[in-house]
Amino acid sequence: MANRKSIEQHRLRGTLRRDRTPKAAGARLTEAPKAPRGMSPAARNHWRALAALLVSRRTLTEADEPALALLCSTLGALEEATARLASEGFTIASRGSVKAHPLVAESARLRIAAAALFVQFGMTPKSRSAVEPAPAAALPEAAHPDDLQGESIDQYLARRPQARPQ
């Protein structure tokens, strides 16, 4: 399958169609939100890391928080199940026979759920291009992209001398 053009590419080429453009999910968050109450410590650790990553990529909105909480809870439960399997083993004795530990199947279900949620957030190589980040701040009129020298626009503006009125 051919690579899809981003919304920005369609906008630049004049082929953007409003009826095929995804609806805005709200303003992008600029700071990672606090983890919801009731999350396990493992899930909270995942929340801190993933929320910071998604905010830095300009893809997290307030509407995404429940799905992010579900992803982090799933990853926390998977981490706990994996630790328990490591200590108890992958098999158990039952009525004179050996069978798979019930957490083996539960771990598999948790992995599938987490993988699906990773895709929804654009955190897999294939799905990354499907999630559009918020547009970058416009460059000041005097700035040229070559002037940025690999830094963000905010860093550029901070080091740029302010124009003094004459």
Distance, CA of 163 to CA of 36 (rounded, Å): 44
Is residue 73 classed exposed, middle or buried when 0-12, 13-18 and 19+ CB atoms within 10 A define those classes? buried
Q: Each residue's pLDDT tens digit in the chain (166 positions)?
A: 567 777 778 888 888 887 777 666 677 888 999 999 999 999 999 999 999 999 998 889 888 999 999 999 999 999 999 999 999 999 999 888 999 999 999 999 999 999 999 999 989 888 888 877 766 544 444 444 445 455 555 565 565 554 444 4
* Contact status, residue 139 vs residue 153, Cβ threshold 8 Å: yes
- Residue 144 domain-assigned? no
Q: Is residue 122 part of a domain?
A: yes
| Measured distance CA(163)–CA(100) in Å, rounded | 71
Q: Has residue 3 been placed in a domain?
A: no
Cα→Cα distances 133→9, 88, 96, Å: 13, 43, 56
Task: Establish if 11 belongs to a structural domain.
Answer: no
Q: Does 49 map to a domain? A: yes
Note whether residue 7 is domain-resident. no
Asked if residue 163 belongs to a domain, the reply is no
Domain annotation covers residue 44 = yes
Backbone conformation region of residue 8, classed left if phi is above 0, alpha if psi is from -120 to 50, else beta: alpha
Helices (H), 18-152: 41-56, 65-88, 102-120
Determine the structural domain holding residue 75 and report its residue range. Answer: 28-130
The number of domains in the chain is 1
Cα dihedral value 98, 104, 109, 113, nearest 10: -170
Rg value, the chain, Cα: 22
> pTM to 2 decimals?
0.67
- The confidence score (pLDDT) of residue 158 equals 60
pLDDT of residue 165: 43
From the list 114, 79, 86, 80, the residue with the least C-alpha distance to 101 is 86
